[in-house]
Amino acid sequence: MSNDQSIAPGDMRLHYDRPTIVFHWLTAALVLLLFGSAWIWNNTPRDWHWHPPLEALHVSFGILFAAVLIARIGWRVWRGRRLGRAQAGIVGWASKVVHFVLYLLLGLQAGLDFTLRWLQGEAFSFFGLFSIPDPLIPDRTLAHMVEGLHNYVGWSIIIVAVGHAAAALIHHFVLRDRVLGRMAPAVGG
């Protein structure tokens, strides 16, 4: 059974479990939404009438991102990401390194999100439903440093995620080894 072609297309051992797939795509959507809103927010005049609502949405989606990331990591540690077979050799090693780096960057970014907002001494509200208390004393100088790191990590996530997506597409269209189908069963697996 060394050839993927001999495995039945519907064999669920070749797919991640449903919660893992949902967490993956939800995380990807939130990263794109957060990056896009930050890019628009940082590249428009401060007096633009959509600036404050966009900032509020960015903060709210950042809180949601942190919650999804915590749930995703919890699911992965205790229940999820079960496959019948794993990639071997250098491809398997590279996959593990990229996933580790992505999780590290995503966790760091979530921590920086909260730290930055608290250091800025600005309201931290979740879609206007509730606020998160501020345990830090505002410090504009430190906030400016954390903001730079926050932006650097955001770009790093995008760069690594684009590489991750490119590798998935190469697996699907060039190597035709069904790797993409593990996280997107509708694509084929």
pLDDT of residue 79: 81
pLDDT of residue 87: 64
Q: Please identify which residue in the block is written with the tokens 């060039």.
A: 174
pLDDT of residue 153: 98
pLDDT of residue 15: 75
Class of domain 13-187: mainly alpha
For 175, the token pair is: 């190597």
| Phi then psi dihedrals of residue 130, to 5 deg | -155, 160
* β-strand partners of 151: none
Q: Where are the domains of the chain?
A: 13-187
Report how far apart, in Å, the C-alpha atoms of 26 and of each of 90, 109, 112, 143 are. 28, 16, 20, 28
Q: Please identify which residue in the block is written with the tokens 């004393």.
A: 137
pLDDT of residue 145: 97
Residue 70, number of CB atoms within 10 A of its CB:
12
Residues 6+ apart with CB under 8 A from 148: none
Radius of gyration from C-alpha coordinates of the chain: 19
pLDDT of residue 92: 79
The secondary structure element, H or E, covering residue 126 is strand 125-126
CB 20 within 8 A of CB 81: yes
**Residue of 121, 112, 117 lying closest to 149 (CA atoms):** 112
Q: What is the pLDDT along the chain (189 residues), one digit of tens a residue?
A: 333 333 344 443 567 888 989 999 999 999 999 999 999 988 988 888 888 899 999 999 999 999 999 999 999 888 866 554 556 688 778 888 999 999 999 999 999 999 999 999 987 899 999 999 888 899 999 999 999 999 999 999 999 999 999 998 998 899 888 778 888 877 655
pTM, entire model? 0.84
Cα within 13 Å of Cα(170), Cβ side: 7
| Phi then psi dihedrals of residue 122, to 5 deg | -105, 160
